[in-house]
Structure 1
């Protein structure tokens, strides 16, 4: 087996049924030189039990990084997961996003010094999310627009995300009005760059902490590449009990300061000390 050269951080919290489907998606990848680092924001034992079972089934190594449940502390656990990564390149996604079989291959293909990559997601309704099986993932049925329509998916321009070839994907990436931001569900960059800006700002809870990291990376001098139509994940639907306006407002204020003051480094990240940049 070739040495791994890519780390994939998957965030999760008490969603072992969704996480199992996601890990089957990674077991179906065309590019296989990667490790998975689970950033677990305090899940109950069921998640650990699932990981122990799947370690015997999947081809890739899994590192389970966990801390005690203290509310929504995704930024904290992601910083711990960044430190745990054993390679120079990090892809980040979530435990409710099943990757298409070429997902890792696309991130590796387009990675480049001086850049981070910005992908997107395709949101599925709850009914389809629940019915997807291990077989549907391994056969790629869950990425087939006709199969999804048979099970209730409505027609939409967004369906192009699922079936664009390289040429069409390149055109759609070029014309999309969506900003090539750092998206927690689908983004990647060099570990040394993420460390250089001190990772995620741990003051930030739900709402934009991923975008704020990307804004500091840009202030640091990186450019971003749009690959939302190349690197595809399907997003499984679920309730978001941790979403609240107070957190969103606080995060907006932090992001505003990052942009206006051109901040490259946060003193509330991996290393806790006064900002020097």
Structure 2
């Protein structure tokens, strides 16, 4: 009997096969298996296609590869396309440079609730440690083990508690963290109908806060947020960000200011563009 897909996991990628392969192995380790993976591909070339085709034969979960022509950094646009392709009524979003711990999806499922979206975080790794992670250390979960990471050169930090906290401590840290429970593109989940009700991502927005703006419209529409920063764990692999520009950041900040000041719940530049076509 075929498994019912209870959650659609969207991960974004762009010409980053080395990191994407590690991430896909992370999803192969999940202790919750009734999910599909929807790869939101912002214009990658053939090596990414080849990798996804190869990996689809080696993992047990279904993969949808949603691709668009390379037109610069257009993550919001491809995420909207991926959102429409999702088969489940619950959507978890992350990135193609974030390896999920084996309880990543089950944690989101455990905490999901009608009228809420969930806000997780990530654990940033330096480049050399990122490169040292292998399929074997993902399957053994060593790459989430503080002792293993320290042997590879990880510095001591309070943030390391993200990887080591369990049970009651997780709940306490989720409650007292000063970090807002915002929609984070690397680790957030919510109901598909709630995201479509605000028309998805604003496609005017490029790098810098487009995920936060989505969450701000969700909150304006009456959806509440729940913090699971110390419960839903993924490790972020380091890489350069050539697409990061001050111009796009400033433009996005202006759009977010409008969303806040005007209490917006809808964007004309989202999934449904009927209003734009009529003008």
> Could you say which residue in structure 2 is the equivalent of 1:129?
130
> Could you say which residue in structure 2 is the equivalent of 1:263?
264
Distance 2:169 2:138 in 1: 24
> Could you say which residue in structure 2 is the equivalent of 1:214?
215
Distance 1:54 1:274 in 2: 40
> Could you say which residue in structure 1 is the equivalent of 2:151?
150
Q: Where in structure 2 are the equivalents of 1:210-249 lying within 5 Å?
A: 210-249=211-250
1:8-39 Cα offsets, whole Å, 9 max, x none, are: 00000000110000000000000000000000
Say yes or no: does 1:75 pair with 2:80: no
Q: Where in structure 2 are the equivalents of 1:1-277 lying within 5 Å?
A: 1-274=2-275
**Secondary structure of 2:160 counterpart:** helix
Distance 1:253 1:2 in 2: 44
Distance 2:30 2:127 in 1: 25
Structure 2: gaps of 5 or more residues:
none
Distance 2:116 2:89 in 1: 14
Distance 1:217 1:166 in 2: 29
1:154-176 Cα offsets, whole Å, 9 max, x none, are: 00000000011121110000000
1:235-277 Cα offsets, whole Å, 9 max, x none, are: 00000000000000000000000001000000000011339xx
Q: Which deviates further from its counterpart, 179-188 or 157-166?
A: 157-166
| Deviation of 1:138 (Å) | 0.2
TM-score (norm 2): 0.98
**Secondary structure of 1:274 counterpart:** helix
**Secondary structure of 2:12 counterpart:** strand
Distance 1:163 1:216 in 2: 33
**Secondary structure of 1:170 counterpart:** helix
Distance 1:100 1:164 in 2: 13
Distance 1:10 1:151 in 2: 27
Alignment: residue pair count: 275
Distance 1:167 1:38 in 2: 34
Distance 2:167 2:107 in 1: 10
| Deviation of 1:2 (Å) | 2.6
1:160-214 Cα offsets, whole Å, 9 max, x none, are: 0001112111000000000000000000000000000000000000000000000
Distance 1:186 1:104 in 2: 10
Distance 2:26 2:208 in 1: 26
TM-score (norm 1): 0.98
Distance 2:106 2:178 in 1: 25
